[in-house]
């Protein structure tokens, strides 16, 4: 019995000795690729030694995630600032790419997705959750951005999945819910009721003919970008008067401050820019990374 106890004691000492404990699960770029094959990118030089922020990058309508990664230039930004990028495809095939399923909202092809279409809210929140579960992602720093239809999808995630994302950054696609049926020049407050305040950092061009900042356009658009900003400011309980300032040559910023829980609502408008990726990527990341959830 004494010999057995000695052996047991020695085993316990080895098990709990500093440096000899069972190692915690580790992650790597390969771990992430198993979750989202060909749709996730780690910054250069990272080998899984620490959790990183995650930015979901959503392509525009009829495009692909891979094309969005290339055209946005966010890969180089991720390398500079050290964050992960996930760039999945939308759930509905369209032309040479895909579109996103925003419930009750027609796609660029004019049809409202049917019940057979993939639930892209569940898909994207599930993807973020699986990536967080690897231990590779800091769960307090998960963000989403997107271009055009991807920006509208990012806006919708702000409405219905604020518990998952720390902030959203729509590019030429800021919305605050569906247009009000009785007055489509205003957003319907009942269609966007986040579970908590969430920061909104938007980018647009003042010559955008597809999603015009002054409103109008397709049935999924209608109300102005300014109306969307005001609605998000109301959602976030922003009490300070809106401000306008020039932040760069040809770029001005509309901002709402003194918002609940340290959130913000800002929109950067590029003068003369049309329907394209108009975001200053470093400014986009600096704004997003101020926020935690």
Radius of gyration of the CA atoms of the chain, in A:
22
Pairwise CA distance, residues 121 & 106, whole Å = 16
Mind listing the pLDDT tens digit for each residue in 199-228? 999 999 999 999 999 999 998 899 999 999
The domains found in the chain, sorted by start residue, are 25-288 (3.40.50.1820)
Q: At what angle do helices 74-81 and 281-288 cross, to 10 degrees?
A: 50
Q: Using CB atoms within 10 Å of the CB of residue 109, give its burial: 0 to 12 exposed, 13 to 18 middle, 19+ buried.
A: exposed
pLDDT of res. 105 = 87
Mind listing the pLDDT tens digit for each residue in 269-282? 999 999 999 999 99
Question: Which H helix or E strand runs over 125?
Answer: helix 120-133
Mind listing the pLDDT tens digit for each residue in 54-91? 999 999 999 999 999 999 999 999 999 999 999 999 99
Pairwise CA distance, residues 133 & 244, whole Å = 40
Pairwise CA distance, residues 289 & 176, whole Å = 22
Pairwise CA distance, residues 29 & 60, whole Å = 26
pLDDT of res. 21 = 43
pLDDT of res. 110 = 81
pLDDT of res. 14 = 36
pLDDT < 70 positions in the chain: 1-25
Q: What is the average pLDDT score of the chain?
A: 92
Phi/psi of residue 272, each to 5°?
85, -5
């Amino acid at each position: 019995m004494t010999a057995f106890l000695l052996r047991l004691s020695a085993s316990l000492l080895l098990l709990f000795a500093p440096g000899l404990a069972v190692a915690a699960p580790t992650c790597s770029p390969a771990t992430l690729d198993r979750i989202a094959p060909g749709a996730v990118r780690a910054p250069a030089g990272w080998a899984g030694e620490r959790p990183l922020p995650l930015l979901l990058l959503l392509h525009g309508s009829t495009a692909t995630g891979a094309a969005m990664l290339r055209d946005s230039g966010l890969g180089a930004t991720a390398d500079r600032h050290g964050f992960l990028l996930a760039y999945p495809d939308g759930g509905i095939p369209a032309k040479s790419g895909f579109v996103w399923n925003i419930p009750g909202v027609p796609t660029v092809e004019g049809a409202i997705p049917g019940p057979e279409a993939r639930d892209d809210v569940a898909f994207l929140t599930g993807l973020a959750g699986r990536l967080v579960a690897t231990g590779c992602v800091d769960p307090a720093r998960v963000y989403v951005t997107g271009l055009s239809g991807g920006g509208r999808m990012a806006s919708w995630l702000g409405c219905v999945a604020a518990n998952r994302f720390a902030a959203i950054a729509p590019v030429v696609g800021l919305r605050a819910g569906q247009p009000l049926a009785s007055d489509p020049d205003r957003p319907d407050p009942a269609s966007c009721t986040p579970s908590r305040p969430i920061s909104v950092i938007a980018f647009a061009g003042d010559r955008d003919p597809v999603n015009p900042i002054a409103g109008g356009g397709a049935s999924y658009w209608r109300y102005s970008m300014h109306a969307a900003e005001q609605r998000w400011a109301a959602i976030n309980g922003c009490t300070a008067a809106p401000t306008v300032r020039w932040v760069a040559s040809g770029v001005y910023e509309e901002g709402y401050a003194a918002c609940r829980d340290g959130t913000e609502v800002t929109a950067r408008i590029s003068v003369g820019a049309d329907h394209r990726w108009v975001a200053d990527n470093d400014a986009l990341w600096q704004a997003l990374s101020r926020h935690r959830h």
